[in-house]
Structure 1
Amino acid sequence: MRDKLAIEVWDGWIRLFHWGLVAAVLISFYTTKTSGAPFLFPIEVHAQAGYLVIGLLVFRWLWGALGSVYARFKTFLYPPAETVAYAKSLFKRQTSVYASHNPLGGWMVLLMLLSLSFQAVSGLFLSDDVFFQAPLYGVFGEAVGNQLRTLHQLNSDLLIILIGLHLVGLIMHRLLGEPLVVAMLVGTKRLHQQPVDARKERLQAATLRLRALGALLIAAGAVLWLWF
């Protein structure tokens, strides 16, 4: 049996972001989609989960520009032609191996981040008309607020679809011999061959720590401003 190639792909910051986002999104959906949620004011918990989502997304957008090589958007966002070619090869089960996200997965990640960002930010302008008003409620007037409420609800359904597609993709990759969940837990992918997107450049650990600290401070500042 051919030995697998171990490649460090997902740094610790990306893994913390990913699982933190999973938890915050689950809480957010639970407090709105489940009747009889065991909270005194579910909308407040829903809003607080949204604030955490915003902080996590602020960090991810910054880390996508300044972080480790496989975390950067420029590493896994491919031109349309290359993405279409990958999709065709996927149906033929003749796909190339990628260390980071493959072309379809990269665009799915971007779409999910954009949808989550809109969902979290639009929520800042809403109210339940009874117990809770978000920090920016009423800034653009009632008409715009009503439109944002409608879009917030519609985008919530879109997010469910995107999350479902994401889970389907995980299953497909597991069937192809690529356990992505394990990789997101330990940070390392074990591949049968050299990936087409292999990168040799590495930033100094001290540089990455400073960048992570800066991104964390900005993200934490956003959360604290919203929370209090």
Structure 2
Amino acid sequence: MALIGLSWWSIETGRMRIHYLSGYAVLTLVLFRIGWGFVGSDTARFGRFLRSPAAALRHLWHFRRPEPDQEIGHNAAGGWMVLVLLALLLAQPLTGLFSDSGYGDYGPLAKTVAAETSDRLTGLHHRIFNLILLTAGLHVLAVLAYRFIKQHDLLRPMLTGWKLLPVGMPAPRLGSPILAAALLGAAALTVYGVSRLG
């Protein structure tokens, strides 16, 4: 979220070079996270934490019921929140690639599409930012609600990646650091290549 804040600050203060770089960094990290969702650690894999919408609704239905935290990673509702955040964080820099401010600043792919298309994507780029703020706010409220209503500490695992597991529950398999570095490098090279197109 620090990069989102940097993107907002840079556009508000007219520091377009920083705005571009922060957008490229967001896109790199999101592409990495999507790839890691298929080949990474158990708790990061989409197939591990994405459950049916019905399972998410059942989980929310019992939200006010205090019970021990039996989840290793994301719960059924949290998995969908991750998917929404990732989709928004992907759409934001992608639309930015095609955006044109009308004042001489434009994304590297803005001139590859019709001016009307670029204008529509520019407007979408601005609106998605508000959706990211809304979704991030809901995410923070959900973490606080779990802490005070269900007595589940979700903040420490989110910040550190470590969580105390119930007795007898096996630890999840961690992904390869070498694979993670290679995936991050591939994402960075892809974004760099796209950035040079304009």
Among 40, 43, 49, the alignment partner of 1:67 is 40
**C-alpha displacement of 1:75:** 0.9
In structure 1, the residue corresponding to 2:62 is in which secondary structure? helix
Q: Distance in 2 between matches of 1:111 and 1:185?
A: 20
**C-alpha displacement of 1:99:** 1.2
Residue pairs, 1:191-206, within 5 angstroms: 191=165, 193=166, 202=173
Corresponding position of 2:4: 25
Corresponding position of 1:186: 160
- Alpha carbon RMSD of aligned pairs, Å? 2.2
- Alignment of 1:81 onto 2:81: no
Residue pairs, 1:33-52, within 5 angstroms: 34=12, 37=13, 41-52=14-25
| CA deviation vs aligned residue, 1:70-93 (integer Å, no higher than 9, x gap) | 110111101122111101000334
| CA deviation vs aligned residue, 1:117-168 (integer Å, no higher than 9, x gap) | 0111000001222242211012121111111112112211111110110110
TM-score under structure 2 length normalisation: 0.88
Q: Which aligned segments of 4 or more residues in structure 1 are displaced greater than 6 angstroms?
A: none
Show structure 2 runs of 5+ residues with no match. Answer: none
Distance 1:187 1:131, change over 3 A: same
Residue pairs, 1:95-134, within 5 angstroms: 97-134=70-107
- Alignment of 1:209 onto 2:180: no
For 1:125, give the aligned amino acid.
F
Q: Distance in 2 between matches of 1:128 and 1:194?
A: 56
- Alignment of 1:219 onto 2:187: yes
Q: Assess if the C-alpha contact under 8 Å between 1:89 and 1:95 holds in 2.
A: no
TM-score under structure 1 length normalisation: 0.77
In structure 2, the residue corresponding to 1:188 is in which secondary structure? coil
Give percent identity, aligned residues only.
Answer: 29
Show structure 1 runs of 5+ residues with no match. Answer: 1-21
